[in-house]
Amino acid sequence: MQLAFQIITVGLAFLTILPMSRHEAWWIRGLDFPRLQLFLLILTTLSLGLLLLDLSLLLSWGLISVLFSCLAYQAWWIVPYSFLFPVEVKTAQAPDSGHNNSIKIITSNVLMPNRNAVGLINLVREYEPDILVTLETDDWWQAQLDSLETDYPHTIKCPLDNLYGMHVYSRFPMANCQIEYLVETDVPSMHALIMLPSGHKVRIHFLHPAPPSPTENGESSERDAELIIVARSVADSDVPIIVTGDLNDVAWSETTRLFRKISKLLDPRVGRGMFNTFHAGYWFMRWPLDHLFHSHHFTLKRIARLRSFGSDHFALFTELVIEHDRNDKQSGLNADKDDKAWAREKTKSENVSKRDVPQPERNMV
């Protein structure tokens, strides 16, 4: 019994310590994802240890101490995405009766081979977003989604058969729309200025960088560089900003935290829940892979994970409101010198710059 607990404790400690390294290898960065699962596994092991180990032995208390330290460390990452933590984004106070200052977005990775387009279209009809952004959409998906154009006449389309196609359908007018390949030549991103009925202009970026994995990129450098150059670009802007998409990174990873620090954008999930959007098919292996971040101009009216429609991702619904009369200021994470130096390293490794990112508001008269 004692030997079994030693082996299990060493294994769990190894899985906890390894992602502390900033090494970008996919098999190390992949351990950023299952922190909730590791937390529950460590908690179970710790509970069994307290029940079954001989607590008169110093070794037993050593094992318990290691497990407790691992548990606390994993909790530090995931607790902000629970009701135990203060919210980062304030809840919208006044109802926007005319919906002039609000914007509703559905972000959905459709899974390219999935053929249940009707399921997604039904979600659009039910939740009535102002903007639908789809990822992994090819020509077949475009043909199905084009039926939405009666209600969503403003579009950006980039159908691809490599799992990185992307489409945007909007009720609101869009200006200075651009499709860019910021880091990799086959991985697009979309950038536009959205015109709200109130007259506010919202700068918006739709992203889907490739993940670190044995079948994609061996390291996370490409994904990380794309996130950081967008973060550095939006940090220089004073207009309302939204960044959304499947970032192929979890909300609690060091890279996503670095993105939030550099960009100064807020995460509406903090203090509200994880909203685990992947994997839709396995309830025991889920994490927050689809994201929406925004500037301090917005408060949150609603955020929800929508029902499954056959993809390996659940769609994410977010409704934001611009409220100028709020006295309570909102702020997120702050970058220190080490963060800024690390961000420079990541962009330098891929020879990319914030200048590569479109700034659609700068072309407006």
In degrees and rounded to multiples of 5, residue 73 shows phi and psi of -65, -45
Sign for the pseudo-dihedral over CA of 47, 49, 53, 59: negative
For residue 364, pLDDT over 70 is answered with no
Kindly report, residue by residue over 159-217, the tens digit of the pLDDT.
Answer: 999 999 999 999 999 999 999 999 999 999 999 999 999 999 999 999 999 999 999 99
Kindly report, residue by residue over 78-90, the tens digit of the pLDDT.
Answer: 999 999 999 999 9
Distance CA 98, CA 13 (A): 54
Q: What is the mean pLDDT of residues 354-362?
A: 94
Distance CA 244, CA 291 (A): 5
Kindly report, residue by residue over 257-301, the tens digit of the pLDDT.
Answer: 999 999 999 999 999 999 999 999 999 999 999 999 999 999 999
Kindly report, residue by residue over 338-349, the tens digit of the pLDDT.
Answer: 999 999 999 999
Distance CA 306, CA 283 (A): 14
In degrees and rounded to multiples of 5, residue 28 shows phi and psi of -85, -50
Q: 85-113 b/e with 16+ CB inside 10 Å = b?
A: eebbbbebeeebeebebbbbbbbbbbbbe
Which pLDDT score is estimated for 336? 97
SS3 letters across the chain: CHHHHHHHHHHHHHHHHHHHCCCCEHHHHHHHCCHHHHHHHHHHHHHHHHHHCCCCCHHHHHHHHHHHHHHHHHHHHHHHHCCCCCCCCCECCCCCCCCCCEEEEEEEECCCCCCCHHHHHHHHHHHCCCEEEEECCCHHHHHHHHHHHHCCCEEEEECCCCCCCEEEEECCCEEEEEEECCCCCCCCEEEEEEECCCCCEEEEEEECCCCECCCCECECHHHHHHHHHHHHHHCCCCCCEEEEEECCCCCCCHHHHHHHHHHCCECCCCCCCCCCCECCCCCCCCECCEEEEECCCEEEEEEEECCCCCCCECCEEEEEEECCCCCCCCCCCCCCHHHHHHHHHHHHHCCCCHHHCCCHHHHCC
Q: For the whole model, what pTM was predicted?
A: 0.95
Distance CA 128, CA 97 (A): 15
Least Cα distance to 169 among 195, 134, 138, 141 occurs for 134
Long-range Cβ contact pairs of 44-47 (< 8 A, separation 24 or more): 45/5, 45/8, 45/9, 45/12, 46/71
